[in-house]
């Protein structure tokens, strides 16, 4: 308990919860043990191809001096691929005194290496970031949901990007305003639930095939501050109100004790007509509807409760802008917030080279979120609304010390292979010195032996260009 005295001289009391004291003690203990602790990371923005992550883990990509004799040491990773654009994040805990190849942390810039050839194009970033050691959450209090933007297998359109951005903003708004909780993860596209647990299932109604692994939907997870039924109901009601208004479908994960993960309950049925009414507007002056290209951007910095909300509130001042895909995860108390921002300019052979040339000419685009307005100006065809001072201040306060990793602009492709399925795998590694490469490559070999994965023999890129020079 703390005692405060206001200017009138009246004494008031404020009670500090035991959880807050525990978080403060944990943060102080971590700082005392490792006062200079930082997390070294690599982020790769790449044109998607099979086997890229395996090549990275084997050290066969040639980036940052990696080789088969000296592959990168990744302890944890986030890797996704959507619409022809791939993302690889790798982290390892290190001490700044021994890390000589990394960048200068949030106050400096990330080292950049680009590789370009006939089969691929990639921009890789390496730096260090300071984790938020007070970012504490209980895995038993996670609230997980999924919202569908499109349930049919249709080409990706600009309206889908605006709908995904609206869903992401609603998730961030409810997390910050209703749940008072951080967003742990966010992913799009995702696999839709194969069936509804709220309805009786028989052999006749049980699905016989996997549901599509890459649907236009958003899956998210919140870390609730307390595991009360009232809070869960308030959060669920807030999501349901948004879905009933827009027609977006809503599923919530089964959180009952003793039940396996992967079970979903339908809360709101998807209403295609309402979704079209809410988001079927082409803001491109020439009436272009199909999404043709995007710019991958990744924010990297200390995990904070409302960092995602601050970013999406800022993007909301660009009504034309869409988010075609997203991947967000918190690793070692570092937030990695990745988005594929739609390019609304008219498609043409000169579009992507022009956008990439403009980005390469921007020194701030390597590290500072302050460069975001200039970056977004190359993606839209209409002038944005004036960003209000409160949004600017909140954006600078929550993500101003993050790295902003940008590019390259890449074409959007549609995944038409409906035979792909999602496979969930987990493992435990004995020993503190173990790395991700050993079990992951063993899993790859096992899948190849079972005929579930085709081996790839992709040639190395023709040339590498150090963009930091």
Q: Report in angstroms the alpha-carbon separations of 8 from 3, 249, 408, 459.
A: 14, 52, 58, 75
- Weakest mean pLDDT among 109-113, 270-274, 400-404: 109-113
Say how far apart CA 295 and CA 365 lie, in whole Å. 12
pLDDT value, residue 164:
93
**212-244 pLDDT per residue, tens:** 667 889 999 998 887 788 989 999 999 999 999
466 located within any domain: no
Give the pLDDT band (50/70/90) at residue 458. very low
Please list, in sequence order, all residues whose beta carbon lies within 8 angstroms of the beta carbon of residue 280, skipping any fewer than 6 positions away. Answer: 159
For residue 417, pLDDT beyond 90: no
Q: Which tokens sit at 58?
A: 């084997």
Per the CB < 8 A criterion, the answer to whether 247 and 278 are in contact is yes
pLDDT value, residue 4:
47
Q: What is the mean pLDDT of residues 247-265?
A: 80
The CB-side HSE value for 314 (13 A sphere, CA atoms) comes to 22
For residue 318, pLDDT beyond 60: yes
Write phi, then psi, for 15 (nearest 5 degrees).
Answer: -95, 130
pLDDT value, residue 323:
92
244 located within any domain: yes
Average pLDDT, the chain: 76
Please tell me what DSSP assigns to residue 377: T
Query: Whose CA is closest to 337, among 368, 309, 314, 377?
Result: 309
Please list, in sequence order, all residues whose beta carbon lies within 8 angstroms of the beta carbon of residue 193, skipping any fewer than 6 positions away. Answer: 146, 211, 251, 264, 266
Q: What is the 3-state secondary structure (H, E, C) of 190-250?
A: ECCCCCCCCCCCCCCCCCCCCCCCCECEEEEEEECCCCCHHHHHHHHHHHHHHHHHHCCEE
**75-104 pLDDT per residue, tens:** 788 888 888 888 888 887 654 444 444 444
**41-53 pLDDT per residue, tens:** 888 998 887 778 8
Q: Which tokens sit at 383?
A: 């002038």
121 located within any domain: no
For residue 380, pLDDT beyond 90: no
Say how far apart CA 46 and CA 56 lie, in whole Å. 12
Say how far apart CA 296 and CA 1 lie, in whole Å. 47
Give the pLDDT band (50/70/90) at residue 18. low
pLDDT value, residue 451:
77
371 located within any domain: yes
Domain total in the chain: 1
For residue 252, pLDDT beyond 50: yes
180 located within any domain: yes
103 located within any domain: no
Q: For residue 313, what are the domain limits?
A: 136-422
For residue 317, pLDDT beyond 80: yes
Say how far apart CA 167 and CA 323 lie, in whole Å. 10
The fraction of the chain above a pLDDT of 70, given in percent, is 70
pLDDT value, residue 464:
35
260 located within any domain: yes
316 located within any domain: yes
Q: What is the mean pLDDT of residues 318-333?
A: 88
For residue 381, pLDDT beyond 50: yes
Collapsed DSSP state (helix, strand, coil) of residue 181:
coil
Give the pLDDT band (50/70/90) at residue 26. low
Please list, in sequence order, all residues whose beta carbon lies within 8 angstroms of the beta carbon of residue 129, skipping any fewer than 6 positions away. Answer: 38, 39, 41, 105, 106, 300, 301, 302, 334, 402, 403
Q: How many CB atoms lie within 10 A of CB 221?
A: 22
């Amino acid at each position: 308990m703390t005692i405060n005295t206001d200017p009138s001289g009246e004494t008031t009391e404020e009670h500090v919860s035991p959880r807050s004291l525990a978080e403060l003690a944990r943060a102080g203990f971590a700082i005392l043990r490792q006062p200079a602790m930082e997390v070294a990371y690599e982020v790769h923005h790449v044109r998607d191809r099979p086997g890229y992550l395996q090549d990275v883990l084997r050290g066969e990509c040639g980036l940052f001096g990696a080789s088969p004799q000296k592959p990168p040491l990744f302890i944890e990773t986030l890797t996704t691929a959507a619409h022809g654009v791939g993302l690889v994040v790798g982290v390892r805990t290190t001490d700044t005194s021994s890390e000589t190849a990394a960048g200068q942390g949030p106050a400096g810039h990330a080292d950049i290496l680009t590789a370009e050839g006939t089969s691929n194009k990639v921009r890789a970033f390496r730096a260090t970031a300071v984790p938020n050691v007070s970012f504490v959450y209980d895995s038993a209090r996670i609230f997980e949901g999924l919202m569908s933007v499109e349930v049919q297998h249709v080409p990706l359109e600009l309206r889908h990007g605006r709908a995904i951005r609206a869903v992401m903003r609603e998730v961030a708004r409810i997390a910050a305003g209703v749940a008072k909780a951080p967003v742990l993860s966010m992913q799009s596209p995702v696999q839709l639930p194969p069936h509804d647990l709220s309805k009786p299932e028989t052999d006749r109604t049980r699905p016989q095939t996997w549901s599509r692994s890459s649907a236009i939907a958003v899956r998210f997870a919140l870390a609730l501050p307390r595991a009360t039924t009232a809070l869960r109901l308030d959060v669920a009601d807030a999501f349901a109100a948004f879905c009933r208004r827009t027609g977006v479908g809503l599923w919530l994960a089964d959180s009952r004790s003793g039940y396996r993960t992967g079970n979903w309950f339908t809360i709101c049925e998807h209403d295609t007509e309402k979704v079209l009414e809410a988001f079927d507007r082409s803001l491109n002056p020439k009436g272009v509807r199909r999404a043709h290209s995007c710019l991958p951007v990744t924010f990297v910095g200390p995990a904070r409760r409302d960092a995602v909300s601050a970013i999406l509130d800022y993007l909301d001042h660009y009504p034309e802008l869409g988010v075609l895909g997203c991947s967000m995860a918190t690793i070692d108390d570092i937030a990695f917030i990745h988005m594929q921002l739609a390019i609304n300019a008219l498609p043409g052979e000169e579009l992507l080279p022009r956008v990439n040339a403009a980005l390469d000419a921007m020194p701030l685009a390597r590290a500072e979120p302050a460069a975001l307005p200039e970056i977004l100006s190359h993606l839209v065809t209409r002038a944005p609304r004036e960003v209000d001072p409160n949004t600017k201040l909140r954006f600078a306060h929550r993500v101003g010390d993050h790295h902003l990793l940008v590019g390259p602009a890449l074409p959007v492709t549609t995944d038409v292979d409906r035979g792909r399925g999602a496979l969930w795998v987990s493992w435990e590694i004995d020993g503190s010195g173990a790395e991700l490469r050993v079990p992951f490559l063993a899993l790859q070999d096992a899948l190849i032996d079972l005929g579930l994965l085709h081996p790839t023999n992709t040639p190395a890129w023709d040339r590498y260009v150090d963009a930091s020079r």
